[in-house]
Amino acid sequence: MSLFSLPAVKGLIAQILGTIAGMALTTVIRALMGLPAWKAEPAWVVGALLGGVAFLFAVGAFDDWLQWMVGKETPLRHGPPPDRPAWTRYFSVDYNHKVIGIQYTVWGLFLLMAGGTFALAFRTELLRSGMQFLGLELFNNFIGLHGIVMIGGILLGVGGMANYLVPLMLGAEDMAFPRLNALGFWFNVPGALLILSSLLVGGWDAGWTGYPPLSARGPIGYQLFFLGVYFIGLSSIVGAVNLLVTILHMRPKGMSLFRMPIFVWGVFATSLIQLTATQLIGLSFLMVLVERTLGMGFFDPGLAGPGKALLEGGGDPILFQHLFWFYSHPAVYIFILPGLAVIGELLPVFARKPLFGYKWVALSSLAIALVGFLVWAHHMFVSGMNPGLRVPFMFATLLVAVPTGVKFFSWVGTIWGGKLHFPTPMLFVLGAISVFLIGGLTGPILGTVPTNMPLHDSYFVVGHFHATMFGGFVFPFFAALYFWYPKVTGRMYNETLGKIHFWLMTPAFWAQTLGQMTVGVMGMRRRIADYDPALGNGMIQAGHVVITIAGFAIAFGVLLMIYNFIRSAEVGKVAGSNPWRSRSPEWQIPSPVPEHSFAAPVTVVGEPYDYGLAGSTYVRMAAAGDD
């Protein structure tokens, strides 16, 4: 089998060729219009767009739809490709949600590690004040890349959990729209490549938030960043449609909404946000792209700085921030709601006790999703927006604490009086609770305008949101990886290595997040390549040393986990179908899950988390041949 017959490789080649074709097309059109033929910026924009689309065609994401357009019917393909080794299906367009779930997860882990590497680079630079090895330009590029690549990795991790688990938890064979599901994943590959390759064309130096006028004036790298985010955003939207339809229409007999596994509730709330908010980050970046490429002044008021080109003005930089945060605040709930739902999913299994206040936990996810739409301007308390808006946004922001509190209290209620077991997934759940707790509790102080003023754009904010991201996504995601690993591979991971990973990462993360808050209060601003060593009575450098060492410890822990997973897939002991004694449908079928998951239809006959109720069961599967 030749490497070049692998669809993912075909896609990569097509992306390069498509980019060149797009650049050529732009040049020809410009020549025909009588303009100077070569202009780098429009050539790159059209090239990057065509390159991304070419990837999707070449990888085969549109194959079936193209056949349908000419009237040919195509049956849904099942199983590994007949003419190639089985592993190649992970590098091809495959319609099985379990394959897509793993594609999402692995590509997500890759991006998280890439984003983490950017962080390690600039963390090393920050070990000491003064510039060491990075240089100002590269530093400013790396902070933005760290941010957006991490966000992409988190979205993919969320997609991985949702795609793999939701159909299994619903007892369904697959998602509602398997072809759309595959397209949704593949959008992420050219998208992520565009973002990473932006470094080759000058990069972009405004941080992942890309505020104009700075982003409207910088190098061409911005355009690839915008287009990459656009592709990943499309993935979010089609993925969300698919999950919502699947959840609403494919539940088995007997599974009312309030009998769904709590993870499905988390995904449901997250998908509602993804479906309705993602357009706004696409729109805001598209407007900057158009402003740069076609000279439409949406955001730049048209003031010329020294040596800068004069843009035809009339725009308002604050408008961008409203559009941008209308997605980008709810986005953090996209990241954490599935993670918090993993906590709710795993606690009952390891406490051998029902989830305390199931309905309250389920509805608190919806409440967070809803209130999350009304708080975006707390990112703009000092932005110069209408000052009168600060008060209503302060109250709305503080309100988020209420449904979040319900979750914490319900988790405590679940643990209380249980029979607690502590394998690695449970440790990560407890780590998640502790970390998300400090992340959540440092929210109101930032949401209150007067205390926001000194902390805004300081490292205190950096500490706060890293705690929410780690507590709300990273720790629960790792818990989920360890928890469902035996279901996916059929083998058990190495428990000792898992525990080492936990005991390395948790104290390290705590040191990192508290260290960030400490230097922030001392006056350390976000996104600066160099800092004044006199801050905090000269203690600031010690703070940065702690943060950097902790960052490397976390990275080492992640590598240990990857090693554990690769190694255990071969030598791990056979797990059996239900090593955790869970009641959830996916644990009632063999491990690894067969191609068609459930051999017989699933019927829900009880509550999902009735641990401790003798003789009860959640799902029943008709015996083969039975109807």
Scan residues 557-596 and list those touching other proteins (CB under 8 A): 581
Does residue 277 contact residue 331 with C-beta atoms inside 8 Å?
yes
* Subset of 240-299 contacting other proteins (CB under 8 A): none
Residue owning tokens 């049956």? 75
DSSP letters of 156-194?
A: HHHHHHHHHHHHHHTT-SS-S-HHHHHHHHHTHHHHHHH
Q: Which of 237, 611, 619, 620 binds other proteins (CB under 8 A)?
A: 611
Rank residues 186 and 531 by Cβ distance to other proteins and give the closer one. 531
- Binder of other proteins out of 454, 538, 576, 594 (CB under 8 A): 454
How far apart are alpha carbons 269 and 282 in whole angstroms?
A: 21
Neighbouring residues of 294: CB distance < 8 A, sequence distance ≥ 6: none
| Footprint on residues 400-429 left by other proteins (CB under 8 A) | 401-402, 405-406, 408-413, 415-422
Q: How far apart are CA 407 and CA 369, in angstroms?
A: 14
Interface residue with other proteins, options 365, 458, 468, 564 (CB under 8 A): 458
Alpha helices in 449-584 (DSSP H): 449-455, 459-469, 475-489, 495-522, 540-571
For the CB of residue 437, give the shortest distance to other proteins in the complex, in Å: 5
Q: Shortest approach of other proteins to residue 462 CB, angstroms?
A: 13
- Selected from 106, 391, 599, 622, the binder of other proteins by CB under 8 A is 391
Residue 509 sits in the site that holds other proteins (CB under 8 A)? no
What are the φ/ψ torsions at residue 602 (nearest 5 degrees)?
-100, 135
Size of the site for other proteins (CB under 8 A): 104
CB of 373 to other proteins, least distance (A): 18
Tokens representing 363 are 């509805």
Could you say which of 249, 253, 308, 573 contacts other proteins (CB under 8 A)?
308
Q: Which of 67, 74, 132, 451 binds other proteins (CB under 8 A)?
A: 451
The rounded Cα 107 to chain-centroid distance in angstroms is: 11
Q: Does 499 bind other proteins (CB under 8 A)?
A: no
CB 170 within 8 A of CB 246: yes
| Span 175-214, contacts to other proteins by CB under 8 A | 205-207, 211, 213-214
Looking at the Cβ atoms of 116 and 543, the one nearer to other proteins is 543
| Residues within window 358-377 making contact with other proteins, judged by CB under 8 A | 358-360
CA distances from 536 to 64, 465, 466, 543 (A): 62, 22, 22, 10
- Quick one: 101 or 348, whose CB is closer to other proteins? 348
- In the set 37, 374, 437, 549, which binds other proteins (CB under 8 A)? 437
How many other CB atoms sit within 10 Å of the CB of residue 437?
15
Chosen residue from 79, 81, 295, 301 binding other proteins by CB under 8 A: 301
Least distance (Å) from other proteins to the CB of residue 313?
A: 8
528 binding other proteins? (CB under 8 A): yes
Q: b/e string for 188-221 if b means 16 or more Cβ within 10 A?
A: bbbbbbbbbbbbebbbbbbbbbbbbbbbbbbbbb
Binding positions for other proteins, 533-562, rule CB under 8 A = 535-537, 539
Residue 353 interacting with other proteins (CB under 8 A):
yes
Query: Does residue number 38 form part of the binding site for other proteins (CB under 8 A)?
Result: no
Task: Establish if 601 lies at the interface with other proteins (CB under 8 A).
Answer: no
* CA–CA gap between residue 285 and residue 275 (Å, rounded): 17
**What distance in Å separates the CA atoms of residue 65 and residue 47, rounded to the nearest whole number?**
24
Please name the amino acid found at residue 86.
Answer: A
Q: Does 398 bind other proteins (CB under 8 A)?
A: yes
Can residue 383 be called a binding residue for other proteins (CB under 8 A)? Answer: yes
Single out the segment in contact with other proteins by CB under 8 A; choices: 62-70, 162-170, 379-387, 556-564: 379-387
